[in-house]
Amino acid sequence: MPASQPRARARDRNNVLNRAEFLSLNQPLKGNQESRSSSRKQSSQAGAAGAQNTNPKERRQSQQLPEEDCMQLNPSFKGIAFNSLLAIDICMSKRLGVCANRASSWGGARSMINLLGITGHGIPWIAGTLICLVKSSTLAGQEVLMNLLLALLLDIMIVAGLQKLAKRKGPYDINPGLLDYLTMDTYAFPAGHASRVAMLSKFFLNHLVLAIPLRILLVLWALCVGLSRVMIGRHHITDVLSGFVFGYLQFRLVELIWMSSNTCQMLISIW
């Protein structure tokens, strides 16, 4: 036993881990433990004080955060695709807005493009339909004109309601004109001019006997009016395309609720 003790002491002296610079690897320093314990106590005390200061309602709201307030680290494929298409729509719409202002590349043609857009406005069409209705003397003509007037009024109400729900702004900060305010066409989605010309072109193609060149010109007119709304910067491309879709649906709705000749004569007599 006496001989084994000096050997154990010699092994301890020769052990590298017993040196002062390696002691921290085996045992944490007391100062660090004390500082860590004190910091933990302070943080726990601060958390307890903060929890006491907050109201129960705020604590419940913080515990039940809605999903939209949380950052989505793994977004869905549908969300990525929708945002990508939206970005492409905005970029392409701004590129096609060549008449958005006088400083644009086609700024000199802005007046002509605006004049083309007026041909698809609701106020001139309603006024022209009323004038034709007053001058019409045939029952068939009055029936078509009364249903056309109904289609125009439905178009204004439906588009105004959809725009109020969507409240989408155009690609450029352009204020609506006076005629736009009269028909409540103040937002971008859907495009009111596009829905109106789509509905009118389909209406005339179904209820008027037109030659083939006139039918082609009627379709081209509707497409040009829709394109003009993008060129002046009032609508996005998707606004115009959705306007065409809604215009066709409005035509189908008018066909379903088509007023007969007797109903039209009764309404004309009341008026």
Residues acting as catalytic residues: 193, 235
Tokens of 107: 């700024």
In the numeric block, the tokens 């958005």 are attached to 100
DSSP, residue by residue, 11-58: HHHH-GGGSGGGHHHHS--HHHHHHHHHHHHHHHHHHHHHHHHS-HHH
Please say whether the beta carbons of 197 and 221 come within 8 A.
yes
Question: Of the candidates 247, 268, 246, which has an alpha carbon nearest to the alpha carbon of residue 259?
Answer: 268
Work out the number of other CB atoms within 10 angstroms of the CB of residue 123.
15
Tokens of 238: 């998707």
